[in-house]
């Protein structure tokens, strides 16, 4: 009987020693007990030290997360005007089943959450392209599990960034009044894909000064396939051709005038030889000189314009040259155009 009692006492003492050892090990590993952290957090909250109280509630929540530690974090965040964090913590506290809130605590959390929602805006996002990064005031946006973006009242800058878009970033400023629930659409256009050029025909550009490849203007000749095809890119040669024709026609008309004045001079000469007087002979001579000058000038202009048109005229490999030539004779001007 005495032996049995002694054995029972030894077993109970060993049990107390093991419990004490386990408690000491937990204290060494975890530091301050959760109950102490929560007590200190409540004391700081009652004293109006909300930053300190929230820090202690967070430490307690890291050690032993419960609905009540979340409620404490939400209450401190509300007093600190961190309304987004308050909404998150208070909402989570009513859903958490680890040491769930009492009926009174739940009513208090619901009322405080309703007040919190009057100071924040809820925004549904519509972003294109998908996979773009959204930043709020220069920091990565925190999207709620239901896809909603919570923003406190005030002005905020939203930045949508996409490395494969052009432009790669788009900024939008929004003013949050609080209590609203709106949709935000942000879109960036995808950068155009690089174009790849396939095999093309060789292009040659002919100008009056020579031949160059890859330039613009002038006459573009594309080779390949069969016959040569010329595309006129400049009408300068047509202007010169028109000027040459006009000058040639003018020279022909002045040559006829020259011939008429020469005929009148011949009549005067015959009259003088017969002993008759020829009135206005000096005037006729002046007109004849003018006609000669005009004929020679227009003839030279026709020749120069024809030569320029011939040089600028587009040619293929087998094209014949074009030229205009005018030669004054005694009483006429002869012009020839070759194509």
96 has a pLDDT exceeding 70? yes
Closest CA to 87 of 172, 158, 156, 146: 146
Please tell me the predicted confidence (pLDDT) of residue 237. 66
Q: Using pLDDT thresholds of 50, 70 and 90, give the confidence band for residue 3.
A: very low
**Same domain for 176 and 269?**
no
**Same domain for 58 and 100?**
yes
Residue 200, domain member (yes or no): no
**Same domain for 112 and 138?**
no
Residues 230/314, Cβ–Cβ less than 8 Å: yes
If DSSP states are collapsed to H, E and C, what string results for 151-210?
EECEEEEEEEECCCECCCEEEEEEEECCCCEEEEEEECCECCCCCCCCCCCCEEEEECCE
**Same domain for 332 and 246?**
yes
Question: Bigger pLDDT: 210 or 87?
Answer: 87
> Mean pLDDT, to the nearest integer, of 15-24?
36
Alpha-carbon distance of 118 to 121, in angstroms, equals 8
The whole domain housing 90 covers 32-117
Which of 59, 90, 117 marks a domain boundary?
117
Alpha-carbon distance of 233 to 314, in angstroms, equals 10
The burial class, CB within 10 Å (0-12 / 13-18 / 19+), for 83 is: buried
Q: Please report, for residues 112, 179, 306, the alpha-carbon distance to residue 108 in angstroms, rounded to integers and kept in the order given.
A: 6, 20, 102
> What CA dihedral angle connects 189, 191, 197 and 203, to 10 degrees?
80
**Same domain for 283 and 319?**
yes
Please tell me the predicted confidence (pLDDT) of residue 195. 67
Q: Look-up: residue for tokens 């293929």?
A: 316
Question: Bigger pLDDT: 206 or 116?
Answer: 116
Which of 98, 117, 136 marks a domain boundary?
117
Residue 203, domain member (yes or no): no
Is it true that the peptide bond before 276 is cis, omega within 30 degrees of 0? no
**Same domain for 111 and 154?**
no
Residue 301, domain member (yes or no): yes
Which DSSP symbol is given to 1?
Answer: -
Please tell me the predicted confidence (pLDDT) of residue 202. 46
Phi, psi (degrees; rounded to nearest 5) at 159: -125, 120
The long-range contacts involving 155-158, CB below 8 angstroms and separated by at least 24 positions, are 158/134, 158/184, 158/186
234 has a pLDDT exceeding 70? no
Lowest mean pLDDT among 4-8, 38-42, 255-259: 4-8
Q: Please report, for residues 256, 299, 331, the alpha-carbon distance to residue 262 in angstroms, rounded to integers and kept in the order given.
A: 10, 19, 8
> Mean pLDDT, to the nearest integer, of 44-69?
96
Residue 1, domain member (yes or no): no
Q: Look-up: residue for tokens 């040639």?
A: 248
**Same domain for 100 and 149?**
no
**Same domain for 243 and 323?**
yes
Q: For the segment 294-335, what is each residue's pLDDT rounded down to a tens digit?
A: 778 877 877 777 777 677 766 654 444 455 555 555 555 566
| Number of domains the chain contains | 3
Residues 110/67, Cβ–Cβ less than 8 Å: no
């Amino acid at each position: 009987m005495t032996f049995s009692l002694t054995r029972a006492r030894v077993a109970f003492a060993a049990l107390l020693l093991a419990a004490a050892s386990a408690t000491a090990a937990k204290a060494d590993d975890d530091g301050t007990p959760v109950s102490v952290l929560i007590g200190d957090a409540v004391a700081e909250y009652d004293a109006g030290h909300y930053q300190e109280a929230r820090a202690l509630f967070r430490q307690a929540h890291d050690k032993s997360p419960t609905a009540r530690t979340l409620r404490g974090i939400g209450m401190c965040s509300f007093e600190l005007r961190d309304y987004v964090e308050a909404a998150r913590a208070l909402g989570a506290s009513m859903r958490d089943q680890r040491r769930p809130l009492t009926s009174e605590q739940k009513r208090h959390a619901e009322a405080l959450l309703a007040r919190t929602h009057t100071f924040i805006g809820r925004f549904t996002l519509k972003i294109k392209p998908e996979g773009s990064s959204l930043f709020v005031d220069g920091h990565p946006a925190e999207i709620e599990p239901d896809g909603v973006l919570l923003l406190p009242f005030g002005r905020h800058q939203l930045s949508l960034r996409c490395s494969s878009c052009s432009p790669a970033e788009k900024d939008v400023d929004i003013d949050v009044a609080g209590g609203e629930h709106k949709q935000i659409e942000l879109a960036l256009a995808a950068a155009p894909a690089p174009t790849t050029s396939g095999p093309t025909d060789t292009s040659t550009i002919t100008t009056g000064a020579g031949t160059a490849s890859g330039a613009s203007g002038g006459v573009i000749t594309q080779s390949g396939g069969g016959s040569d095809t010329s595309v006129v890119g400049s009408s300068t040669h047509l202007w010169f051709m028109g000027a040459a024709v006009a000058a040639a026609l003018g020279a022909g008309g002045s040559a006829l005038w020259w011939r008429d004045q020469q005929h009148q001079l011949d009549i005067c000469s015959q009259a003088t030889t017969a002993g008759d007087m020829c009135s206005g002979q000096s005037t006729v001579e002046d007109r004849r000189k003018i006609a000669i000058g005009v004929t020679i000038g227009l003839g030279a202009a026709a020749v120069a314009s024809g030569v320029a048109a011939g040089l600028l005229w587009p040619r293929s490999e087998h094209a014949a040259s074009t030229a205009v030539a005018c030669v004054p004779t005694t009483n006429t001007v002869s012009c020839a155009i070759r194509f």
